[in-house]
């Protein structure tokens, strides 16, 4: 199956794709009039369409079949992570997390965060690309950066964890988290969370967890947390 993205898809009738998707379909994949492919809006729609005019700038399509795919997951993964100085590392993380499975990602500005400005538009594009590649129909919620103090008081998930490098902390995320529940995991910057940030999180109900014996880079820690929670929920 070839899957493409369109935010607003018509249930029936004629529709048009934007220039980026049109060029990929017509010029790169060389699909033409009469060919079929599928679209998703990132909100559960899986739509079979047929090309009626193979225009590279504005490909004309007709809806053949419209399905709304029910979300069957009984768990929810919310990753809160400090953006790295190198934006490419966050884009890589977004791509991999979408492929593996994530429901929401938030970017948090901490005391030790090296990058205060972050372009979520590029991250959203990476997420859409990964969504199409992995043939999924639900795009994760992507939140713009917020300060640590503001963000952690807004977390609704009942399971709340903070990954913290601590020689005394032996409780791993895999052993502490429970399957079939909503979960939030905080991942700090290269310099980790400050002692004050850690204490604030613990005071409002976050549990301190380890991601293993090795010291991980920020984006690696985020990916490990995403993998861990998905594997936990496959048991």
185 Cβ contact list (under 8 Å, min separation 6): 77, 78, 79, 80, 161, 162, 163, 173, 209, 225, 229
Q: Are 184 and 205 in contact (CB under 8 A)?
A: no
Q: Which CATH class is domain 76-232?
A: alpha beta
* pTM score: 0.93
Residue with tokens 């014996």: 213
In a 13 Å sphere around the CA of 37, the CA atoms on its Cβ side amount to 27
Q: Can you give the pLDDT at residue 235?
A: 62
Q: How far is Cα 5 from Cα 129, in angstroms, rounded to an integer?
A: 9
Handedness of CA 136, 177, 212, 198 (dihedral sign): positive
Residue with tokens 């999180």: 201
Q: What homologous superfamily is domain 3-68 in, according to CATH? A: Hypothetical PUA domain-like; domain 1 (2.40.240.20)
The predicted-structure confidence for 107-166, as pLDDT tens digits, reads as follows 999 999 987 777 888 999 999 999 999 999 999 999 999 999 999 999 999 999 999 977
Q: Is the pLDDT of residue 167 over 90?
A: no
Q: Are 102 and 131 in contact (CB under 8 A)?
A: no
The pLDDT of 181-192, averaged and rounded, is 95
Q: Can you give the pLDDT at residue 221?
A: 97
The answer for 151, left when phi > 0, alpha when psi is -120 to 50, beta otherwise, is alpha
Helices (H), ranges, the chain:
19-23, 87-100, 120-133, 148-152, 173-176, 195-203, 218-232
Q: Can you give the pLDDT at residue 17?
A: 97
Supply 123's token pair: 């991250």
Q: How far is Cα 152 from Cα 226, in angstroms, rounded to an integer?
A: 19
Confidence band for 95, pLDDT divided at 50, 70 and 90: very high
Residue with tokens 């994949």: 29
Which residues share a beta bridge with 3? 38
The predicted-structure confidence for 18-70, as pLDDT tens digits, reads as follows 999 999 999 999 999 999 999 999 999 999 999 999 999 999 999 999 999 99
Q: Where are the domains of the chain?
A: 3-68, 76-232
Supply 219's token pair: 């984006």
């Amino acid at each position: 199956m070839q899957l493409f993205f369109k935010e607003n898809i018509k249930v029936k009738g004629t529709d048009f794709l934007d220039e980026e998707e049109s060029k990929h379909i017509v010029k790169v994949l060389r699909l033409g009039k009469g060919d079929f492919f599928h679209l998703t809006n990132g909100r559960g729609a899986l739509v079979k369409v047929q090309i009626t005019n193979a225009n590279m700038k504005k490909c004309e399509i007709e809806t053949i079949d419209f399905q709304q795919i029910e979300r069957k997951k009984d768990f929810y993964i919310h990753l809160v992570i400090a953006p790295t100085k190198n934006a490419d590392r966050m884009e890589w993380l977004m791509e991999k997390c979408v492929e593996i499975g994530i429901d929401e990602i938030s970017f948090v500005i901490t005391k030790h965060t090296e990058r205060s400005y972050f372009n979520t538009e590029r991250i959203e594009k990476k997420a859409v690309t990964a969504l199409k590649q992995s043939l999924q129909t639900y795009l994760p919620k992507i939140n713009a950066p917020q300060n640590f103090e503001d963000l952690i008081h807004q977390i609704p998930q009942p399971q709340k964890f903070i990954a913290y490098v601590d020689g005394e902390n032996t409780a791993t995320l895999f052993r502490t988290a429970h399957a079939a529940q909503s979960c939030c995991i905080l991942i700090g910057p290269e310099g980790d969370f400050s002692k004050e940030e850690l204490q604030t999180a613990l005071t409002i109900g976050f549990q301190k967890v380890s991601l293993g014996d090795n010291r991980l880079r920020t984006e690696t820690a985020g990916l490990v947390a995403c993998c861990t929670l998905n594997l936990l929920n496959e048991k």
